[in-house]
Amino acid sequence: MLGISRVRTPANLKILVRKVRFDYLGAMGRQRYWHDNDPVKTHFFNALQALFPEGERFFMDAARDVRDEVGRDNLAPELREQIQQFIRQEAMHGREHDSWTQALVALGYPAMQAFDAGLKRDNKWARRNIAATTRLAMTAASEHFTASMAHLFIYHRPDLVEQAAEPFRQLLVYHALEEVEHKAVCFDLYQQADGSYWKRTATMAFVTVDLLLRLHNRMRYLLQQDGLWNAENRRATRQLLWGKQGVSASRKLDASGRVKVPVG
């Protein structure tokens, strides 16, 4: 029997499944560039969120498959419950991001559906050909990214959420909070399955490259479709991703929007 003492999530953590519904198409119809009236920021989030529906189904399948391979009786009761709540949260996220993507299709970005179909095919291939623990390692790596971004949005760069119009702001806050809640569940399950450190680090490298490529392709398409994939917006995209105040930075901003420099 596997040791159940290796569970890492705090014992008092409560993972709550929140039910939400938002009208994305109506909001986009009122304001196409709903993030600070900025097409680059808007399409960054449009592209990023489009990875979530099929990505989260991949995560759910990996968690279920490893849970069943390990055996429910070999898992601590609190971890079994956390896995179930993780799956329910991800299912709700997938539904909302499906609606968001369908709104983009209806607004005049038809290739978003083809991107989705390609990711669905990749997921089916992976489930047939990649071991469940490897897929769970990929999931734990992806959950690290989503939780890190959620932490950034909540604690370090709230402006990246606050400048979004409704209902996108509500969706981003809701999703970020739940990503922080369940951030360690798949890692804990991976540890219970005796997943190796080297597999986890290798899949982190793969997931990093894969995520960035898929994000870039979708973001470029959205801006191209609007006739805005020009030198100025390519530069703005690089700044948004990699600049001093970009999403890859962990610096806090003061009330004026300037980077706060830690003292001491």
In the chain, what are the domain boundaries? 32-242
Amino acid 9: pLDDT: 62
Residue 173 has pLDDT above 50, yes or no: yes
pLDDT-derived band at 250 (thresholds 50, 70, 90) equals: low
Instruction: Specify whether the CB–CB gap between 9 and 76 falls below 8 A.
Output: no
Q: Helices 39-49 and 77-107, interaxial angle, to 10°?
A: 130
Q: Which of 62-76, 101-115, 172-186, 239-253 has the lowest mean pLDDT?
A: 239-253
Rounded mean pLDDT of 43-70? 94
Q: What confidence score (pLDDT) does residue 11 get?
A: 66
pLDDT reading at 10 higher than 70 = no
Identify the pLDDT of residue 4.
Answer: 41
Mean pLDDT, residues 240-249: 78
Distance CA 94, CA 90 (A): 6
pLDDT, position 249 = 65
Task: Say what the alpha-carbon torsion angle 59, 64, 65, 70 is, to the nearest 10 degrees.
Answer: 130
Q: Which residues of 200-238 are buried (b: 16+ CB within 10 A; e: fewer)?
A: beebbeebeebbeebbeebbbbbbebbebbeeebeebbe
pLDDT (mean) for 28-47: 96
pLDDT at 253 over 80: no
In this model, does residue 72 exceed pLDDT 70? yes
Which of 9-18, 62-71, 72-81, 200-209 has the highest mean predicted lDDT (pLDDT)?
Answer: 62-71
Confidence of residue 159 (pLDDT cuts 50, 70, 90): confident
Residue 148 confidence class, pLDDT cut points 50, 70, 90? confident
What is the model's pLDDT at position 221? 98
Q: How much is the pLDDT for 110? A: 97
When the pLDDT of each residue in the chain is averaged and rounded to a whole number, the result is 87
User: Which of the four pLDDT bands, split at 50, 70 and 90, describes residue 178?
Assistant: confident
